[in-house]
Amino acid sequence: MKIRILGDKNTAAYQSAAQLVISKGHTIFDDSEEYLGDDYLDVTIAPLLQKKIDNVTLKEPKYGTLIFHPSPLPYGRGASSIRWAYRRKEPVTAATWFWANDKLDAGDICEQEIIKIDYNLRPKEFYDQHIIPAMLRTLERALNSLAIGLKREIKQIENYATYDGRIE
């Protein structure tokens, strides 16, 4: 498959996702290449997204755009979800890949894995040691499914949705 990766190339999340994509035999779409339609770009992934994606970019790939979020969506929508989980002393969080749509963190879930929060670690250490590995496991499952033409789409239940603002 041909996969575009969005985000800051200098982050551990981006670099880990890129390594996984390559190790699975997929090709990373280079934004300098001319886009030729659905047959050319299979899926876009965003392992660490800091800004909203325009609708054209969302809809370019054959399957759509997968965005990673470190919470058990629909609970914990918004920025700083790990820091909010620590503040609330929650027992678990999650690694969630969801299909982007025009709403914030509200698209159908593709893959999700629950993670027990380790309060012996600071939030950044927890993210690096537990969230990123779970992000990669769930991304691998998503890509394996897409490679055989299976696109998982589990609707988020709006009654369970919460939104947390950014913690500066």
3-state SS assignment for residue 96: strand
What are the strands of the beta sheet with 64-69, ordered from one edge?
27-28, 2-7, 43-48, 64-69, 92-99, 109-116
Decide if pLDDT at 34 tops 80.
no
Checking if the pLDDT of 21 tops 70, the result is yes
49-61, pLDDT tens digit by residue? 877 788 888 888 9
pLDDT at residue 36 tops 70: no
Rounded to whole angstroms, the Cα distance separating 84 from 102 reads 24
Question: Percentage of residues in the chain with pLDDT exceeding 90?
Answer: 80
Q: Output the six-digit token pair for 163.
A: 């939104």
Q: Tell me what pLDDT residue 104 has.
A: 85
Predicted structure pTM score = 0.93
CATH code of domain 2-160? 3.40.50.170
Residue 13: pLDDT above 60?
Answer: yes
Q: Are 62 and 23 in contact (CB under 8 A)?
A: no
The domain spans of the chain are 2-160
Q: What is the pLDDT of residue 57?
A: 80
What is the per-residue pLDDT for 37? 56
> What pLDDT score does 39 carry?
57
The reported pLDDT for the residue numbered 60 is 87
Q: What is the pLDDT of residue 101?
A: 92
What are the CA-CA distances from residue 76 to residues 70, 84, 111, 155 (Å)? 8, 8, 16, 16
pLDDT band at 35 (very low <50, low <70, confident <90, very high): low
For the chain, give the mean pLDDT: 92
pLDDT for 50 equals 75
Furthest-apart CA atoms within the chain: distance in Å? 49
Cα dihedral 130, 167, 45, 156 in deg (nearest 10): 90
